[in-house]
A and B are shown apart, each in its own frame.
Chain A
Amino acid sequence: MEKILEVENLQVSFHTYAGEVKAVRGVDFALEKGETLAFVGESGCGKTVTAKAVLRLLKPPFAEIKKDSKIICNGKDVLNLTKKELYEFRGNDVSMIFQDPMTSLNPTMKVGKQIMETLLLHGDMNKAEARKETIRMLEMVNIPGAAERIDSYPHEMSGGMRQRVMIAMALACEPDILIADEPTTALDVTIQAQIMELIKDLKERLNTAIILVTHDLGVVANFADRIQVMYAGQVVERGMTEEIFRESKHPYTWALLNSIPKATNELKEELYALKGTPPDLILPLEECPFAARCQYCMPICRERPSLETALSDSHKVSCWLTHPKAPKVTSYYDREVK
């Protein structure tokens, strides 16, 4: 398969009054044409920052992408694009839908105009063509009465409708990659199902690759081809969806999978709960970032983090438990399945 995005050793720091917060600490990944890759993890683990870095949406003096980082998309070196090239790049190559459809749309502009703006900026359409195209986009995302809705303001629409507008806007220039940052977190389950179905359908029709940022493992299980579990600004485990759900090897992945109630749980049975909070990213981290919360923590974990071990072509994990000399442990989850 053709790789359309390659990220190598991505490091992002934020400069705050308290000091330098290393939000992303050496993330590598590649994205192939037409696949869906999910970033999973708790809040503050660097999922969104990684996604935003790909679009260069992080403001420079405050956020810094370190020199060794490399982002190559469609043969373009994203980190060295000029301002003009960047405008071309955003929307044409990669675009993004945000978590909160209520605040991501301009409340003073008609939704149609907001979509047309993108089209006029990127394509060589005149206004009438852009309007026609906008109506077509709105129909594509299943907005009923698109020809009238084009002149609605965002406040006249429901949350689900606004998210559809956001999707239409993001897809207006037919990007190769769509970054969906928690696209359904603010929505109801029934609307969530509709939106995810829409994204899946559009992905198949337009062959767009998707980066899905979410903490909802249910959504991930149904929509992602590959999963990358992030913790404290690093990727701790990655693999195909099946591998993560069935054969995960990292205790953090186990913890995430175990904290959701399952059909096999007794009523009011105690759920597995991960204790503590993620490490403070201002402090240097020499140990395995998960060591402090890990129930299988060994002395070596406190000394240095494990390197990434490949278990299969796609399944990789950074944990000392995969070392041949480490004790054999099975997750709580495994016990329950068998």
Chain B
Amino acid sequence: MGNENIMEAQDLCKFFKVGKKQVLKAVDHVNLSLKYGETVGLVGESGCGKTTCGRTMIKLYEPTHGKVFFEGEDISRLHGRQLLAFKKNVQVIFQDPYAALDPRMTIGEIISEGMNVHFKLSAKEKEQRVANLLDKVGLNSEYANRFAHELSGGQRQRIGIARALAVEPKFIVCDEPNSALDVSIQAQVINLLIKLQKEMGLTYLFISHDLSMVKHISDRVGVMYLGGMVELADSRELYEQPLHPYTQALISAIPLADPEMGKRQNGMKLKGEIPSPINPPSGCKFRTRCKYAMEICKEEQPKLLEVKENHFVACHLCGDTHGGKDAES
């Protein structure tokens, strides 16, 4: 069965040292696998570890604990050529299209930089490929000779996408690709990502705090809170029947672009802010903001359990219905 998964994170942890003795647990024992051609969304408030999780999975950070498998291979063991091949297969699209492009390079140079490393191409072939890529992301091939500052935000994000595609990857981490863009441009970029996925069979890890966009593009969605995965389910299921109180609060906080539906919203407001990840609450990390918090939440950290088919939740409330306590031992 493992062969279906292009990427698999097992018990992944990434801790950062802060100050002398303190440790920031940015990603804390996360299990996540992605099948070929699917899009998994990661949502959560800022500081919940979604970006760190994405970056650790593609070896931009070394994990503190746990393993990441790409196409069945442990990526921490890759060296030399294999490592190079891995890096060719995984790419990333960054959040801020203004900061992600080198202002002193032409667009052509930016896009072909990765090709120089991974392929041996003549100047002419390279030019041809750049033109194809620009065409693919909906830009005129004349842009190859321009500089980033001449382009608008949406165009820059397209360049970011073209650069990621240049080395023919299989897996792309989209780290908030649309949060710096206008609504109309966001739709363009999302459409482009969907189109490319259909054409090239790409797998996306889509990190964003825009929950309605995530719902639209993702097959499955994972919700993170303070470094841990609290719920993971098919996107429809998650949005229609969220089980974890945090997911419920997140979803009810999305402002709906509809005056009537907005008023009907149940207004389950989250109080307070995300606690410091350096010194998180004991037991369930969400308990300080959870209105259902019980005695057990203080003592035991709930595990991520499958309560329905393909619907995983880490909450003491949901565990009981499905023999959650048994699985605890």
Residues of chain A whose beta carbon lies under 8 Å from any beta carbon of chain B: 42-43, 158-161, 188-194, 196-197, 215-222, 241-242, 245-246, 255-262, 265, 267-275, 277
The 6 A-B residue pairs with the shortest CB-CB distance in the complex, in nearest-first order? A218-B255, A259-B187, A261-B216, A274-B184, A222-B262, A273-B187
User: Chain B residues near A270 (CB, 8 Å)?
Assistant: 191, 194-195
**Is B250's beta carbon under 8 Å from chain A?**
yes
- Contact between A268 and B183 (Cβ–Cβ < 8 Å)? no
In the complex, whether B145 has a CB less than 8 A from a CB of chain A is no
Question: How far does the Cβ of A181 sit from chain B's closest Cβ, in whole Å?
Answer: 16
Using a CB-CB cutoff of 8 Å, which residues 230-286 of chain B contact chain A? 235-236, 249-250, 253-259, 262-263, 269-271, 273
CA distance A194 to B289 in the complex (A): 13
Q: CB-nearest residue of chain B relative to A241?
A: B259
> What separation, in Å, do the CA atoms of A269 and B212 have in the docked complex?
13
Q: Which residue of B lies closest to A240 (CB)?
A: B259
Q: Is the CB of A271 within 8 A of B190?
A: yes
B219 near A: Cβ within 8 Å? yes
Given pairs A193-B270, A259-B187, 20 additional interface contacts (CB within 8 A): A158-B273, A160-B273, A188-B46, A189-B254, A189-B255, A190-B45, A190-B269, A192-B253, A194-B270, A217-B257, A221-B256, A221-B259, A222-B259, A242-B259, A259-B183, A259-B186, A261-B213, A268-B217, A272-B187, A273-B188
Give the docked Cα–Cα distance between A197 and B217 (Å). Answer: 29
Contact at B184–A259, with CB atoms within 8 Å?
yes
Q: In the complex, A271 Cα to B216 Cα: how many Å?
A: 9
* A196 & B182 in contact (Cβ 8 Å cutoff): no
B129 at the interface (CB under 8 A from A): no
- Using Cβ atoms and an 8 Å threshold, which residues of chain A touch B211? 189
Contact B255 A222 (CB under 8 A): yes
Contact B253 A189 (CB under 8 A): yes
Which A residue's beta carbon lies closest to that of B219?
A267
Interface centre among B183, B197, B215 (most CB of A within 10 A): B183
| B265 CB to nearest A CB, Å | 8
Q: Is B249 within 8 A of A190, CB to CB?
A: yes
Q: In the complex, what distance in Å separates the CA atom of A212 from the CA atom of B315?
A: 38
B253 A190 Cβ-Cβ under 8 A: yes
What secondary structure prevails in chain A residues at the interface with B? helix
- If A189-B211, A190-B45, A190-B250 touch, whether A221 touches B257 (CB-CB below 8 Å) is yes
CB contact under 8 A between A257 and B182, given known A188-B209, A221-B262, A272-B187: no
In the complex, which residues of chain A have a beta carbon less than 8 angstroms from the beta carbon of B212?
218, 260-261
Contact residue among B235, B253, B255, B273 (Cβ-Cβ distance under 8 Å from A221): B255
Contacts of B310 in A (CB 8 A): none
Instruction: Tell me the minimal C-beta distance from B259 to chain A in angstroms.
Output: 5
Q: Spell out B's residues near A (CB within 8 Å).
A: 39, 45-46, 152, 154, 182-188, 190-191, 194-195, 197, 209, 211-213, 215-217, 219, 235-236, 249-250, 253-259, 262-263, 269-271, 273
Which residues of A have CB within 8 Å of B39?
268
B185 to chain A: which residues have CB within 8 Å?
42
Residue in contact with B183 in the complex, picked from A188, A215, A267, CB distance below 8 Å: A215
Q: Identify the closest chain B residue to A218 (Cβ).
A: B255
- Across the interface, name the chain A residue whose C-beta is closest to B252: A193
Report chain B residues within 8 Å CB of A190. Answer: 45, 249-250, 253, 269-270
Closest to B184 in A: A274
Given the complex of chains A and B, what is the CA–CA distance between A161 and B274 in angstroms? 12
Do residues A219 and B269 form an inter-chain contact, with CB atoms below 8 A? no
Cα-based distance from A270 to B253 in the complex (angstroms) = 25
Shortest distance from the beta carbon of B86 to any chain A beta carbon, whole Å: 27
A24 to B165, CA, bound (A): 40
Residues of A within 8 A of B184 (CB): 42, 255-256, 259, 273-274
In the bound complex, what is the Cα–Cα distance between A259 and B181 (angstroms)?
12
Give bound CA distance, A322 to B184, whole Å.
24
How many Å from the CB of A255 to the closest CB on chain B? 6
Are A189 and B209 in contact (CB-based, < 8 A)? yes
User: In the complex, what's the smallest C-beta–C-beta distance from A47 to chain B, in angstroms?
Assistant: 12
Chain A residues lying within 8 Å of B213, measured Cβ to Cβ, are 261
In the complex, are the beta carbons of A260 and B257 less than 8 A apart? yes
Given the complex of chains A and B, what is the CA–CA distance between A165 and B184 in angstroms? 32
Task: Give complex CA distance A241, B257 in Å.
Answer: 11
**Would you give the shortest CB distance from B83 to chain A, in whole angstroms?**
32
A188 touches B191 (CB 8 A): no
The interface centre, meaning the residue of A255, A269, A271 with most chain B CB atoms within 10 A of its CB, is: A271
Complex CA distance for A271 and B219, rounded to whole angstroms: 16
What CA separation (Å) do A275 and B263 show in the bound complex? Answer: 32
* Inter-subunit contact B45/A218 (CB<8 Å): no
In the assembled complex, the CB of B232 is this many whole angstroms from the nearest CB of chain A, namely 17
* Contact, CB under 8 Å: B216 / A267: yes
* A245→B183 contact, CB < 8 A: no
User: When A193-B253, A194-B269 are in contact, do A221 and B183 touch as well, CB less than 8 Å?
Assistant: no
The one of B182, B195, B215 in contact with A261, judged by C-beta atoms closer than 8 angstroms, is: B215
Query: What's the Cα separation between A192 and B263 when bound, in Å?
Result: 16
B residues in contact with A272, CB < 8 Å: 187
Q: How far is the CB of B82 from chain A (nearest CB, A)?
A: 33
Q: Given the complex of chains A and B, what is the CA–CA distance between A277 and B156 in angstroms?
A: 13
